[in-house]
């Protein structure tokens, strides 16, 4: 059968039209696929760690200083020259230890005179009583003799006290911190001889805010680290009931046993006190970063794999990392690459090898 030439021409034209559409569509698709590949190539990649909030003991950390429990200037009670200073500075002494002694002067003579007068009054009273018994004197005269005897006893007591006042003694057990008066100095009543310090217990003071004060109570335990390196434990013994008008803070005192007196006053201290339990996340300290305003926080991913920033508050530090609050309960934390992405950017992810073990 002979095919007409017109049919052959029509079939050829149709083939050319189909071929043109096929080639055109390929050329159109190729640029789109290249752009898509390019987008995928520039999308940043980060390493994440999937975290869940856990119940953790929360702590408040305060900064303060150590202080003596008591500091007393031992002062003269009478006037006189200092003739003796038997205690060396820095010595731990008992209550009643002689710190300074003044010259006795005429005080012994005054006492001897008072004692002689007492003996005379005793004889007069005994004689008056015998005469009353025999009826030669009235009971009123005997009562007068008794009053004179009591007055003589009081004079002796007063002279003894004045004589002992030349001895300045430690009012409590403590460390003789500083010698103020030296031998040959004249002390009037009220002038100091030396400084006595009681360091048992050692008192560590700090300031708490209006929000923290409700979490504390007298008797609550506290751990303390001194700038000199000692790690101590003690109990809160005092909480101020009135805030400092300038700072709106309350003073607290923590008492720390110091039997041997080796711990020193005036040392910078860090006080750590439990503030109860709270939900927190344990994160590596290395993931902390800054936002555009300079605030400390971390970067994590939302459900669309977009980067988000959250401010966090550190509540505890351990060898395994730091415990923080401020993150969602379930968090995909960026642990690598957080410094190279910004908030709102979509990223590709891979799990941290250590943290992903055992993770579905």
Looking at the structure, tell me whether residues 209 and 297 fall in a common domain: no
Asked, for residue 330, whether it belongs to a domain, the answer is yes
Measured CA to CA, the distance from residue 110 to residue 108 in angstroms comes to 5
pLDDT: is 215 or 67 the higher one?
Answer: 67
Q: Which CATH number do you get for residue 177?
A: 2.40.50.100
Looking at the structure, tell me whether residues 254 and 338 fall in a common domain: no
pTM of the predicted structure, to 2 decimals: 0.63
Degrees (nearest 5) of the Cα angle 337, 341, 343? 135
Asked, for residue 16, whether it belongs to a domain, the answer is no
Domain end residue (candidates: 181, 197, 213): 197
Asked, for residue 126, whether it belongs to a domain, the answer is yes
Domain range holding 175? 72-103+171-197
Q: How many C-beta atoms lie closer than 10 Å to residue 108's C-beta?
A: 11
Q: Which CATH number do you get for residue 301?
A: 2.40.420.20
Domain end residue (candidates: 231, 251, 275): 275
- Give residue for tokens 């002038």: 191
Looking at the structure, tell me whether residues 257 and 235 fall in a common domain: yes
Q: Which CATH number do you get for residue 226?
A: 2.40.30.170
Asked, for residue 342, whether it belongs to a domain, the answer is yes
pLDDT: is 80 or 44 the higher one?
Answer: 80
Looking at the structure, tell me whether residues 91 and 181 fall in a common domain: yes
Q: Retrieve residue 316's tokens.
A: 């505890």
Looking at the structure, tell me whether residues 348 and 265 fall in a common domain: no
Asked, for residue 23, whether it belongs to a domain, the answer is no
Number of domains in the chain: 4
Domain end residue (candidates: 121, 150, 165): 165
- Per residue in 314-327, pLDDT tens? 888 888 899 999 99
Judge contact between 64 and 206, C-beta under 8 A. yes
Judge contact between 75 and 190, C-beta under 8 A. yes
Mean pLDDT, range 316-340, rounded to an integer: 90
Q: Any alpha helices (H) in the chain, and if so which ranges? A: 5-42, 107-134, 139-164, 353-356
Looking at the structure, tell me whether residues 254 and 140 fall in a common domain: no
- Per residue in 214-270, pLDDT tens? 989 999 999 999 999 999 999 999 999 999 999 999 999 999 999 988 899 999 999
Q: Of all helices (H) and strands (E), which one includes residue 75? A: strand 70-75
Q: Of all helices (H) and strands (E), which one includes residue 296? A: strand 296-301
């Amino acid at each position: 059968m002979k095919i007409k030439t017109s049919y052959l021409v029509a079939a050829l034209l149709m083939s050319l039209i189909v071929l043109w559409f096929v080639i055109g569509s390929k050329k159109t698709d190729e640029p789109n696929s290249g752009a898509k590949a390019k987008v995928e190539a520039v999308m940043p990649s980060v390493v994440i760690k999937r975290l869940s909030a856990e119940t953790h003991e929360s702590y408040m950390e305060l900064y303060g200083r150590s202080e003596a429990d008591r500091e007393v200037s031992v002062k003269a009670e009478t006037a006189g020259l200092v003739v003796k200073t038997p205690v060396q500075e820095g010595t731990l002494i008992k209550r009643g230890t002689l710190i300074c002694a003044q010259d006795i002067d005429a005080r012994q003579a005054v006492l001897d005179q008072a004692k002689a007068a007492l003996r005379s009054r005793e004889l007069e009273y005994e004689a008056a009583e015998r005469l009353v018994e025999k009826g030669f004197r009235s009971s009123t005269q005997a009562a007068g003799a008794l009053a004179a005897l009591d007055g003589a006893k009081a004079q002796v007591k007063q002279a003894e006290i004045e004589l002992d006042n030349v001895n300045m003694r430690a009012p409590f057990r403590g460390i003789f911190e500083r010698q103020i008066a030296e031998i040959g100095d004249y002390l009037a009543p009220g002038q100091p001889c030396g400084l006595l310090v009681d360091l048992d217990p050692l008192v560590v003071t700090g300031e708490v805010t209006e929000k923290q004060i409700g979490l504390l109570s007298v008797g609550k335990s506290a751990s303390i680290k001194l700038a000199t390196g000692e790690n101590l434990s003690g109990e809160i013994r005092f909480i101020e009931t009135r805030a400092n008008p300038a700072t709106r803070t309350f003073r607290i005192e923590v008492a720390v046993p110091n039997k041997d007196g080796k711990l020193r006053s005036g040392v910078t201290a860090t006080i750590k006190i439990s503030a109860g339990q709270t939900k927190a996340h344990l994160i590596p300290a290395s993931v902390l970063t800054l936002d555009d305003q300079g605030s400390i926080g971390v970067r994590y991913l939302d459900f669309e794999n977009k980067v988000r920033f959250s401010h966090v508050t550190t509540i505890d530090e351990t060898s395994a990392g730091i415990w923080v609050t401020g993150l969602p309960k379930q968090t995909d934390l960026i642990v690598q690459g957080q410094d190279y992405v910004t908030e709102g950017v979509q990223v590709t992810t891979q799990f941290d090898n250590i943290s992903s073990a055992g993770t579905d």
